[in-house]
């Protein structure tokens, strides 16, 4: 769309081609990439298909050698009459790592029954794991080939018998026969590793099996252990793991993405220096570790064998991140001794190369987000999921030129998109590009803390505001809370900026991407540090004259919804808010959530129920006298992470006090909205709500929220 001559229109009323429907029409988010020979595979979450995860194969057999793409699963039936295959696992509730491929054979967990299935293009999927004793009781993730006949993967057992005996689901590493023989004989599924509360990220190299484990009350970004061992077999059947050695990690050290280089060296990322950086144990030392572990009565401590990959011990960038889901990849072996990595600093990702001498150099690309890095189909290539400030995330093939000898630089890269970006019908001039800002916040050790955020100014080439009018501000709070704002083209932000809003996406204390000490700022301080930083961001931008200090809104989902509610309840900075499936009662969350996060609040707030007073002190539901500003609440009916009763408690409190509010419950939605029609309705309803509160008329035709009170 070509912009028209700018017209002077109040902020919030600007007409924009970035409609709520544009967010989902043809949209597909890519999260994982795998390379199988010369084929490249990835998964796409498609809102237009009910949010299902489709698997796509790409190969160079199109006209002129161009990439061709083919969906693994046929069609989509919105009526539900057919089987809408969906490669998505419920392990740890957030899933990830639901599938893998080898030699054209795909193994995946299907969302409907959570069983593992096998298939090839053009074939109907067939199950390879047994029928569970209760619906979706066996959940599987990160299937990895031990050999042609066997897989190793994570199994999360929710069967009534195991839950009754353990008090919660049981996570184990198991071996599964690929041929499907376990369907009729469940004893064919062999438990390899059991005991830790959580196991994750299994990697196989010959007889070696490597994995990450941790126990309550730690979260994986608090403390986890990297273990290596040898797969034991009886008559060719894997039955256990011997010669176990702990080679990294501990109560105050987080380990992510173990993997083997082509040389057999074991590489992993650890934050032992304060930043997730890669470390290595060479192949000979790995053999020595398991050899010495073989005669040890307890798991052998092999931590002294690891060395930093980076010269000088490391760099102040994050090469790693929080293990909310499986299937994450931050580094890849380029095949020539170099590592290609995704490195985060100042709120953005950068594609970089670590040379054979340990030097670190960023590649000159436009990427501001690099979510996956995996070895490519040829030497000196990698495949990534990357995005720029003006293009959506998608898989790209990156070909690396050799490092210049003695120059200390990474060389250059040629980038080829494997999946064309959506044609949005508009040019880059419509998009607001983020600016990283740092600002003073609440008290810290040695003075005020410094917090960080990504700021997006209003931007619309066809509109401008009346002289002297400052824009309203939407303060966005990411979920987690151990997570970070993402710097990429996000139409959900551009929806606001193109209508005349300013947006700030806050990386409050506790966010990732700024090193472990910054991440630790939230220890025992959730509901304090995050809220202070959100308030500080809004007041900083108002003081800088960038936004209207009388029209400040705050919005967030999940953990971000809690920060939103707490900011409205305990501070006077904001005049409106939007809670998307947010937490209202910390005690209710501690008592009624899933295994993965069941002890998360021990570190963020305090052990439950010993710290009951702190939970009540920080829970908005116990301080409803603090609510005096309008709020819209949006919630999924089948949310098992933040159940609907959390939303209903806060809505009841708002109604009892007579605070203007609106409430929308979306039937069939889980934690985070996935269906196109619900994503559209939620966003339009929020815009309608701000229009009512801030006194502008949206240019969009929006159905008012039924049952809204006082608006």
When pLDDT is cut at 50, 70 and 90, the band that residue 80 belongs to is: confident
Burial profile 562-585: b = 16 or more Cβ within 10 angstroms, e = fewer: bbbbbbbbbbebbbbbbbbbbbbb
pLDDT tens digits, one per residue of 141-192? 999 999 999 999 999 999 999 999 999 999 999 999 999 999 999 999 999 9
Contacts of 362 (CB under 8 A, 6+ apart): 343, 350, 351, 352, 410
How many Cα atoms are found within 13 Å in the side-chain-facing hemisphere of 29?
14
Q: Quick one: pLDDT at residue 104?
A: 97
Cβ neighbours around 216 below 10 Å, total = 14
Is residue 56 helix, strand or coil? strand
Asked if 331 and 341 count as a contact pair (C-beta separation under 8 A), the reply is yes
Is residue 612 helix, strand or coil? helix
Residue whose entry in the numeric block shows the structure tokens 């701000």: 690
Q: What is the DSSP letter of 96?
A: B
* Listed residue (484, 543, 434, 688) closest to 552, CA to CA: 543
Q: Quick one: pLDDT at residue 407?
A: 45
Q: What is the dihedral of CA 564, 569, 574, 580, to 10 degrees?
A: 30
Give the phi and the psi of residue 686 in degrees, each rounded to 5.
-70, -40
Structure tokens, 414: 């040629």
When pLDDT is cut at 50, 70 and 90, the band that residue 405 belongs to is: very low
Q: How far is CA 242 from CA 276, 299, 641, 678, in A?
A: 29, 9, 36, 50
Mean pLDDT over the full length of the chain: 94
**Rounded Cα gap, residues 265 and 705, in angstroms:** 58
When pLDDT is cut at 50, 70 and 90, the band that residue 553 belongs to is: very high
* Listed residue (398, 389, 444, 446) closest to 421, CA to CA: 389
Q: Quick one: pLDDT at residue 446?
A: 60
**Rounded Cα gap, residues 221 and 323, in angstroms:** 7
**Rounded Cα gap, residues 612 and 588, in angstroms:** 11
pTM comes to 0.94
* Listed residue (674, 699, 707) closest to 48, CA to CA: 674
**Rounded Cα gap, residues 177 and 190, in angstroms:** 9
pLDDT tens digits, one per residue of 430-451? 999 999 999 999 886 566 899 9
């Amino acid at each position: 769309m070509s912009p028209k001559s700018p017209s002077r229109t109040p902020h919030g009323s600007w007409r924009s081609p970035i409609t709520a429907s544009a967010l989902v029409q043809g949209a597909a988010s890519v999260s994982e990439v795998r390379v199988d020979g010369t084929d490249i595979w990835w998964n796409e979450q498609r809102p237009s298909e009910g949010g299902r995860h489709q698997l796509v194969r790409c190969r160079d057999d199109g006209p002129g050698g161009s990439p061709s793409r083919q969906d693994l699963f046929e069609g989509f039936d919105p009526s539900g009459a057919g089987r809408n295959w969906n490669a998505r696992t419920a392990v740890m509730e957030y899933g990830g790592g639901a599938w893998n491929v080898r030699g054209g054979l795909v193994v995946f967990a299907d969302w409907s029954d959570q069983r593992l299935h096998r298939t090839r293009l053009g074939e109907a999927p067939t199950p390879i794991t047994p029928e569970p004793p209760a619906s979706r009781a066996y959940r599987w993730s990160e299937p990895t080939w031990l050999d042609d006949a066997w897989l190793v993967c994570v199994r999360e057992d929710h069967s009534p018998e195991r839950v009754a005996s353990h008090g919660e689901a049981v996570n184990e590493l198991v071996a599964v026969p690929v041929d499907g023989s376990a369907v009729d004989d469940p004893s064919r599924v062999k438990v390899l590793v059991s005991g830790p509360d959580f196991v994750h990220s299994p990697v196989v190299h010959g007889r070696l099996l490597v994995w990450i484990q941790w126990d309550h009350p730690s979260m994986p970004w608090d403390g986890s252990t990297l273990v290596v061992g040898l797969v034991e077999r009886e008559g060719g059947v894997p039955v256990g793991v011997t010669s176990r050695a702990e080679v990294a990690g501990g109560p105050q050290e987080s380990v992510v993405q173990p993997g083997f280089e082509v040389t057999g060296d074991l590489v992993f990322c650890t934050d032992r220096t304060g930043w997730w950086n890669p470390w290595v144990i060479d192949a000979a030392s790995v053999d020595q570790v398991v050899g010495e572990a073989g005669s040890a009565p307890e798991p052998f401590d092999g931590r002294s064998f690891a060395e930093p990959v980076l010269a000088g011990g490391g760099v102040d960038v994050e090469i790693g991140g929080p293990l909310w889901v499986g299937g994450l990849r931050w580094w890849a072996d380029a095949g020539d001794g170099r590592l290609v990595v995704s490195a985060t600093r100042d709120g953005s990702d950068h594609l970089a190369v670590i040379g054979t001498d340990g030097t670190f150099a960023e590649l000159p690309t436009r990427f501001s987000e690099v979510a996956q890095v995996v070895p490519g189909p040829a030497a000196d290539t990698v495949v990534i999921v990357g995005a720029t400030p003006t293009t959506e995330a998608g898989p790209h093939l990156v070909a690396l030129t050799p490092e210049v000898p003695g120059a200390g630089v990474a060389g250059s890269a040629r980038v080829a998109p494997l999946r064309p970006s959506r044609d949005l019908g508009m040019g880059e001039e419509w998009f607001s590009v983020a600016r990283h800002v740092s600002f003073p916040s609440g008290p810290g050790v040695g003075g005020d803390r410094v917090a960080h955020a990504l700021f997006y100014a209003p931007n619309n080439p066809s509109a401008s505001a009346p002289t002297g009018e400052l824009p309203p501000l939407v303060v966005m709070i990411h979920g987690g809370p151990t997570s970070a704002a993402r710097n990429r083209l996000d139409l959900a932000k551009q929806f606001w900026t193109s209508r005349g809003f300013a947006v700030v996406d806050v990386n409050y204390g506790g966010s990732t991407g700024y090193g472990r000490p910054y991440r630790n700022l939230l220890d025992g301080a959730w509901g304090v540090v995050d809220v202070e930083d959100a308030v500080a961001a809004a007041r900083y931008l108002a003081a800088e004259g960038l936004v209207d200090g009388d029209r400040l809104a705050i919005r967030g989902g999940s953990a971000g919804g809690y920060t939103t509610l707490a900011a409205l309840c305990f501070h006077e900075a904001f005049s409106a808010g939007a809670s998307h499936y947010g937490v209202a009662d910390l005690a209710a969350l501690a008592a009624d959530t899933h295994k993965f996060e069941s002890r998360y609040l021990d570190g963020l707030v305090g052990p439950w129920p010993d710290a009951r007073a702190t939970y009540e002190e920080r829970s908005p539901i116990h301080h409803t006298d603090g609510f005096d500003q309008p709020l819209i609440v949006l919630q999924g009916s089948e949310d098992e992470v933040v159940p609907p009763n959390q939303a209903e408690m806060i809505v009841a409190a708002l109604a009892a006090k007579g605070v203007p509010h609106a409430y929308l419950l979306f039937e069939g939605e889980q934690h985070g909205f996935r269906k196109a029609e619900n994503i559209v309705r939620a966003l339009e309803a929020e815009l309608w709500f701000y229009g009512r509160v801030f006194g502008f008329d949206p240019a969009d035709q929006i159905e008012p929220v039924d049952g809204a009170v006082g608006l």
